[in-house]
Structure 1
Amino acid sequence: MLAVFFIFGLIARAWLMWRRSLYRKSVSFITYAIDIPPEEIKTPKAMENLISQLYAIKSKFNTFEKWWKGQYTLQTSLEIIAQDGYVQFCAYVPHKYEYLFKKAVYAQFSDAHISEIEDYAKAILTDDLISSNPAGRYELWGTEFMLTAASYYPIRTYSLFSDASGDEFADPLASLLEMMSHLHRGERFWYQVTITPTRKAWQKAGMQAIRDTVEGVTRKKLWVPEFLIPFFRIFADVMRLFIYSISPPGESAKPKKGAEKILTMVPPEHEIIIKAMREKLSRLGFSAHVRALYIAETGVFDKRQVAGDFQGIMRQFANPQMNSLASDMKVEVDFPQFLFPKTRAKWRKRWLLERAQFRYSGIGADKPRLWQRIKADQIKNILSVEELSGLWHFPIPEIADKLGLLRRVSSRKVHPKQLLPEGERGDSPGLDADVTFFAQTNYRALNRRFGIRQEDRRRHMYVIGKTGMGKTTLLENMIYQDIMRGEGVAVIDPHGDLAESVIDLIPQNRINDVVYFNPADQEYPIAFNIIGVENEAHRYLISSALVGIFKKIWADSWGPRLEYLLRNSLLTLLETRDNTILGVPRLFVDASYRKRLVKSVKDPVVRTFWESEYAKYNQTFQVEAVSPIQNKIGQFTTIPMIRNMIGQVQSKVNFREILDERKILIVNLAKGLIGEDVSALLGATIISKLQIAAMMRADRPESERQDFYMYIDEFQNFSTDSFAVILSEARKYRLNLVMAHQYIEQLDEMVAAAVFGNVGTSVVFGVGAEDARVLEAQYEPEFIAQDLVNLGKHEVVLRLMIDGATSRPFSAATLPPLGAREVSSRDKIIRASRERYSTPREVIEEKLQRWLALPSHEEKKLLNVNRT
């Protein structure tokens, strides 16, 4: 009869393991990387609270669920991994409990960052080990740690690593993290604390041990050979099967009466031990496996140092006369073997790698071999949440700061406190008629795409960040959406890359809307008369803007006389017809040319200057006064490709038409091709002409003015003193600016004040320390200067204009490129723009040769004087 009962138990055990293996295959796990919070001051007490919340994973199963479905309480693994010196906190969590885990982490560490990653343990296959395959690349050392005494005796907890005042905390993980950070390329170290909520039987056993101690009872332990333990467990499983069938799940034994009274009768010699036991028994317990694996390429494998260091680290947790963690001889790779030592060592390495990959917990069907499951399914390694928090916790700031390659949250992630504009389509990739998308929230991986509404864009947008942080991608995405919606757009780029990218984004139906302004196009110079005016009333605005531009370009050599002469010459050319800026030098040196133009001047002040003032200058004074103008204007007029462009009398680019008809103006001012001064002159002039064209819209009601979006990359190159007027006035005329640059010091004080005072939306990428200190005042208390400095690529903090009000600062990540680039219409666009707005080089040079005939006798004399 006993044999039948035993066979039945063995079959039941095999059945349970088979059902659990099927259940395990149906369950998915997620590996999370946890970037520890910046400047976190919390002690491991916060981690104790976190782990306590994971006890909710513990599940109760009825007989059907356990024996037919094979369900069991799933494990969680708290881990620290190191590879090539980089150190990362991780967690291995059942998919069904991912929200529970995230909630537990964020409840204690609100600034931590959790991201899903590929399971690092699966990257190493058993065939990659030399012990399994002679052609393998890796060697392995590893072990697992078990309690040396009964589970109800505590190891040393984190509270015992603090001084009496609690102010100083000697972090027990400091040595482990230090060791991990010093690993070389090709070396890996895995530290896993696999935990599973366990039944309270261990606590009952601990209370019984305390009662026995108090009462002086010594219980004899029945010695059982180890090979018989699995069979006794089979018998216990069968008995539990019958018990579950007659009693409801979850029913537990009632505590004995008078237990508390007995526990107060503690002998003095056992007081400390019993107090520590009671402290552990009062906390939640987890079945735990502490595992360490060192894997390295054969050329750098050095287990002696790593193994010795880790064994010493674990000895820190020894609690004298109570409990400690010691390497499990059944698992340790280097434990001496007397029979077939090499073969068994190879097998142990393979087995230990599998245990690490499956996060073996000693419960359920974590291993592929049935007999291994039966042998190892002995739940006796139980640690309290206080003990576990000492074994796995975030380092204190003093330690973290010393670990340069520890993965930390470099910059705080802050959630928006207002409802963001998400458009009608929400997270779909389509366009929205009113919202221009440019980023998505990155707080706790809640990636909600958002943008800015059309009305809010009229208050302008300011973007700052170091080079390579993602500003260009943000601009491209906004430009692409504007173009696809049929909006009017101007792109002014001093480098040329953005302009070239935008050309590739133009769809077929908007090819004829493009005005491609490329001064480097020598064969087909665009017709752009800098001093051309569409309305004579605006000639003073043009002259003032040009003087401001020249003043910015030549600030070091600028003076009042130079400004006075230049202003009068520009007003003269603007008041007469068919002139270009090439006439400025000639106006001062060609008397007949000057006389002819002055006759047409109606402004009495300008006319008096030429007839009553300049005419009385002697030749030496004229040379001194005129030479700076000749020198500066000559920088533009002596370059053939620039002269051919600005020397055309009739401009073919009508800026009012560009605004009203929603055209696409792409201005390629690559400094490397045309020079820095020329790029600044043309860019600032185009911006001024767009501003003047926008102001001309005063002749129609505001409701009829079309929105036009002007994107200016590296806008400090084109910002003059009048830029403040553009920022304050352009909104009324629906000229909406998006300005980007790298650092605040590039801006004049007046321009910087205008930007920060008038811009509704500001977006900050990673900036330098000086800029961070300036910007901190606008982004605190949500962000400090260090957060702005540490922003990663494509990460931003911003203040967004929402329904006319600027939001509180929050963090986000910019969107990846939105525009499709499979088919480009670049050649068609350039050809169409040339046909409409350019003139062949031969035609222009022929006209200029006729205009620039041999210099007059007076000009020759002046040139000879200049040479001497």
Structure 2
Amino acid sequence: MEVFTRWLGDSPFDVVLNGLVIAIVCYFAYRIVLEPVFAVVSRAWNAWKLRGNGAQSLEIIPPAQIGKSPAATQQLFTVIQRLLAGHGVMSLELVASRNAGIRYVVRARSADLAPLQRHLASYLPELRFRLHDRAEPLPETTENGAYTLLHELKFGRHYAYPLQAHDDLTESDPAAFIAGSMAKLKPSETVVMQLVVSPFHSYWANRLANKLHRKGYAVVEGRFKHFLLQHWWVWIVAGLIGYYSKNVRMTASWAIILLAINYVIMFVRPSEEPELTEAQQELYRSMLDKLNRPLFRADIRVFMRADDTDRLRDLQAGLNSSLAPLNVPGFQQLTIPRFNPIGNRLSRFKFQRRLPSLFAFRPSILDTSELASIYHFPHGLIETEGMVRSHSRTLPAPLSLKNDPELDVVIGMNKHHGTDTPIGLTEAERERHMFVVGGTGSGKTTMLKYQLVQDIRNGKGLAVIDPHGDLAEELLEYIPEARKKDLIYLNPDDLEHPLGVNLLELPAGLTGNDLLREKDRVTESVISIMRKVFSEDDSGGHRIEYVLRNATQTALTLEKPTLFTIFQLLNDGKFAKDAVKNLEDENLKLFWKDELGKAGSMQKVKMTAGITAKIGRFLFSASARAMLEQEKSMIDFDEVLDGKILICNFSKGKLGEDTSMLFGVTVLAKLQLAALKRAERKQKDRKRFYIYVDEFQNFATLSFTQMLSEARKYRVFLTMAEQSTQQQDDQKLVDIILANVGTVVTFRTGSPKDEEYLLPLFLPYIQQGEISNLPAYNFYCRIAGLTPEEPMSGETIQLDS
């Protein structure tokens, strides 16, 4: 009790007065000492979390053209400020080097990066992201043989004075100047601008904002001096009391009483408002606007590395001048503090570890508008040399794929703004066929290979026609032991073990109408094949087809005919004469005796030269003769469609382009004939069979393409890949394909005409030029097997070796 009375006094007046003194001292101790200490401890703790294992780096790749307004960017930073509530810390960086270009990198806690990525995707859906599990390494601040410079930028005056506003980026864009100063670096040079930001909440900032709102003006700098001068008579009277009483508590008590009286007088007596100029009013309004926005405490650091000091000074001058549009002459500017060896060493430590400053005499406090002016993607078309940008956007996977459908085959992976979704087709969607377009090296063969291996492992029947040979050879390594009995490897270049395929072979045991129907099918197949291999300069195509039809029908009346039997009929008069003797069809007899037989030598040559020239050239191909001259086919294509694996290695490099084309068209024709014969079976007895054709333009015939609309009922489903839609000799084939396929996949193509065909399938989700600018192994995909869905982007999946 004695201690209590010693401090507060004996009388009630002393107790109240001294209690009031202690309360005021405690209040100011909290506001001036404890609150800043707590803020320092909080910043230190969050800085420690940022440098720990729980932090990651997110590289943000902007599109080539951006039209976002400053207001939208301010809203983004408002959301980020709320995201970092609780004094979270984030490092916003612009990193430039000759090799890696100019890149936007954000370093934050893993828990903050996931929602940040979603917010950025909502702000600009065209953004691409690269997430690094480990921190994006910053350059060393000290290196042998290199000169480095690091400085922190500070506000020249109190943070309430705002930087220059940039509400119209079409006229002036600070980000373009900043990025431009980092362009054209030499191989060993590096420039980094780092902003370590955290939410800023301050009692004093709120108090200043209230004063500005209430009075329209406020004393921002020299407030303590202003406080002393405003109450000058209080300090004189209190000083006299203290001088004569020699009692500290009495002096303090009277000072408080007099201050209270002075405040009452000031409150009762209307004060004279100072006359403010229009410029001052505008300044105070801008200060109030800044303090009313969400605020960030920011450490702005700039690092440069070069081979000599002159170049270092050039880089420094360029970057400093690029920040000039942010300054407000006479009021606020970003300044470089004087060099301090100890402080510079500490700054390098904080820069490397992306740490905020724990103590700052004059902190840089940015509102969302100021932060958006300094750190945003350049407005409009990005023309800054070396800036990493995306020329094609990613698209999300449709809901049907996200809801765990029963996929029959996976074709790639949708990676959109941090979410990975497998892209695949159900059995029903595969029934509508698949069309893949992509230039050399774009990734289409990688996609086909991944699909094929899945089908092989899942026990499905399939055929692969590969005009390059690499895919066919690689697939052999993925055949499981249990399926090797189903494998048929057709490699015409293997002359020691040739597999015969006779296009004119007729099934045994057919009679009557069944035999006639089979002859018609074979004849149509031969004509389709020959039409594909006819030269573009052949004239009288319809006449040639007429001759070929009659020659093929005649060959089918002979014993064990082959493709070369047709050549013999047209090139060997004696052989033809003997064949005609046994003909029973009067129409065929008339053709050989009256039409071809009565034609003159020159006319006969015109009628048959196109056919004999094409077939005759294959007589001089060892692989063609070994495969096509055999009377008995060693491959039963009916059996193939019942679940076998047929891998065709028709390498153009080994066989020649024409021979490779002939083999591919022949196999497709045989598969087509086998499919058509499935009409004799019940639907439930027709096993699913998948045909994969790479470089489909080399083998596509009109009759086979037209079968796309009918193949579904025969349960034969196609995946066709080609480099460009313009490679088709007949553009009608492309129209037929696009009209009948349910799944269209496009990789990067080099032909502008491809976008004319394909872009309408993906509008309005992508724009002109995005297909031709896709990165390698990236694609756009539209699946419309049962119901139309929005297109998506994807990446191919590499097989495990």
Report the TM-score, using the length of structure 1 for normalisation.
0.77
AA in 2 matched with 1:742: Q
Q: Secondary structure at the match of 1:737?
A: strand
- Bigger shift: residues 496-505 or 113-122: 113-122
1:406 to 387, 390, 411: 387
CA distance in 2, matches of 1:112, 1:589: 66
1:423–1:450 contact (8 Å) kept in structure 2: no
2:595 to 608, 613, 621: 613
* Offset at residue 530 of structure 1 (A): 2.2
CA distance in 2, matches of 1:111, 1:506: 41
Q: Does 1:79 align with 2:87?
A: no
CA distance in 1, matches of 2:284, 2:724: 64
| 1:144 corresponding residue in structure 2 | 152
| Pair 1:686–1:216, CA change in 2 (3 A) | closer
| Pair 1:544–1:59, CA change in 2 (3 A) | closer
Q: Does 1:362 align with 2:357?
A: yes
CA distance in 1, matches of 2:657, 2:583: 34
Q: Could you list the runs of 5+ residues in structure 2 that have no partner in the other structure?
A: 1-28, 228-265
* Offset at residue 351 of structure 1 (A): 4.0
Matches within 5 A, 1:537-616: 537-554=517-534, 555-559=536-540, 560-616=542-598
* Offset at residue 139 of structure 1 (A): 2.9
Matches within 5 A, 1:391-430: 391-398=374-381, 400=382, 402-420=383-401
| 1:353 corresponding residue in structure 2 | 348
Report the TM-score, using the length of structure 2 for normalisation.
0.83
Q: Secondary structure at the match of 2:596?
A: helix
- Bigger shift: residues 597-606 or 284-293: 597-606
1:152–1:202 contact (8 Å) kept in structure 2: no
CA deviations on 1:254-299 (whole Å, 9 max, x unpaired) are xxx999x999976236322212211211112111111111124x37
Q: Secondary structure at the match of 2:171?
A: coil
| Pair 1:619–1:76, CA change in 2 (3 A) | closer
- Bigger shift: residues 533-542 or 724-733: 533-542
CA distance in 1, matches of 2:80, 2:320: 28
- Bigger shift: residues 44-53 or 738-747: 44-53
| 2:69 corresponding residue in structure 1 | 43
| Pair 1:626–1:394, CA change in 2 (3 A) | closer
| Pair 1:262–1:382, CA change in 2 (3 A) | farther
| Pair 1:291–1:22, CA change in 2 (3 A) | closer
| 2:293 corresponding residue in structure 1 | 283
Matches within 5 A, 1:720-799: 720-747=701-728, 748-768=730-750, 769-799=752-782
| Pair 1:110–1:20, CA change in 2 (3 A) | closer
Task: Give the aligned CA root-mean-square deviation in angstroms.
Answer: 3.2
2:415–2:793 contact (8 Å) kept in structure 1: yes
1:328 to 326, 337, 341: 337
* Offset at residue 649 of structure 1 (A): 0.7
* Offset at residue 726 of structure 1 (A): 1.6
1:41–1:396 contact (8 Å) kept in structure 2: yes
* Offset at residue 38 of structure 1 (A): 4.4
CA deviations on 1:409-466 (whole Å, 9 max, x unpaired) are 3212222344117757xxxxxxx7x520112222212101131011221110001111
| 1:201 corresponding residue in structure 2 | 203
| 2:103 corresponding residue in structure 1 | 88
2:97–2:189 contact (8 Å) kept in structure 1: yes
| 1:105 corresponding residue in structure 2 | 120
| Pair 1:258–1:807, CA change in 2 (3 A) | farther
| 1:319 corresponding residue in structure 2 | 328
AA in 1 matched with 2:58: Y
| 2:460 corresponding residue in structure 1 | 487
* Offset at residue 16 of structure 1 (A): 8.8
CA distance in 1, matches of 2:384, 2:41: 49
CA deviations on 1:759-798 (whole Å, 9 max, x unpaired) are 0111111123221133222211111222212211121111
* Offset at residue 622 of structure 1 (A): 3.8
CA deviations on 1:100-152 (whole Å, 9 max, x unpaired) are 322332232222223212666535346xx33xxxxx35431121100111111
Q: Secondary structure at the match of 1:144?
A: strand
| Pair 1:416–1:57, CA change in 2 (3 A) | closer
CA distance in 1, matches of 2:582, 2:271: 117
CA distance in 1, matches of 2:484, 2:703: 33
AA in 2 matched with 1:322: F
- Bigger shift: residues 546-555 or 569-578: 546-555
* Offset at residue 306 of structure 1 (A): 0.4
CA distance in 1, matches of 2:47, 2:300: 23
2:58–2:113 contact (8 Å) kept in structure 1: no
2:685 to 700, 704, 708: 704
* Offset at residue 520 of structure 1 (A): 0.9
Q: Which has the larger radius of gyration?
A: 2
| Pair 1:445–1:21, CA change in 2 (3 A) | closer
| 2:17 corresponding residue in structure 1 | none
AA in 2 matched with 1:303: L
CA distance in 2, matches of 1:438, 1:480: 11
Matches within 5 A, 1:795-814: 795-802=778-785, 804-814=786-796
| Pair 1:125–1:215, CA change in 2 (3 A) | closer
AA in 1 matched with 2:68: K
* Offset at residue 558 of structure 1 (A): 4.2
CA deviations on 1:130-182 (whole Å, 9 max, x unpaired) are 3xxxxx354311211001111111121223xx4xxxx8431112222112221
Q: Does 1:641 align with 2:641?
A: no
1:58–1:198 contact (8 Å) kept in structure 2: no
Q: Does 1:184 align with 2:186?
A: yes
2:462–2:644 contact (8 Å) kept in structure 1: yes
AA in 2 matched with 1:150: H
1:529–1:650 contact (8 Å) kept in structure 2: yes
| 2:130 corresponding residue in structure 1 | 115
- Bigger shift: residues 47-56 or 411-420: 411-420
CA deviations on 1:324-351 (whole Å, 9 max, x unpaired) are 110122xxxxx3x7xxxxxx4xx77654
Q: Secondary structure at the match of 1:716?
A: helix
CA distance in 2, matches of 1:215, 1:446: 50
1:651 to 633, 636, 646: 633
CA distance in 2, matches of 1:50, 1:112: 14
1:50–1:105 contact (8 Å) kept in structure 2: yes
Q: Does 1:666 align with 2:647?
A: yes
| Pair 1:110–1:27, CA change in 2 (3 A) | same
Q: Secondary structure at the match of 2:326?
A: coil
| Pair 1:779–1:359, CA change in 2 (3 A) | same
Q: Secondary structure at the match of 1:447?
A: strand
AA in 2 matched with 1:793: A
CA distance in 1, matches of 2:355, 2:478: 53
2:208–2:218 contact (8 Å) kept in structure 1: no
AA in 1 matched with 2:772: V
CA distance in 2, matches of 1:545, 1:87: 58
Percent identity of the aligned residues? 28
| Pair 1:786–1:18, CA change in 2 (3 A) | closer
AA in 2 matched with 1:716: Q
* Offset at residue 645 of structure 1 (A): 1.6
CA distance in 2, matches of 1:304, 1:790: 38
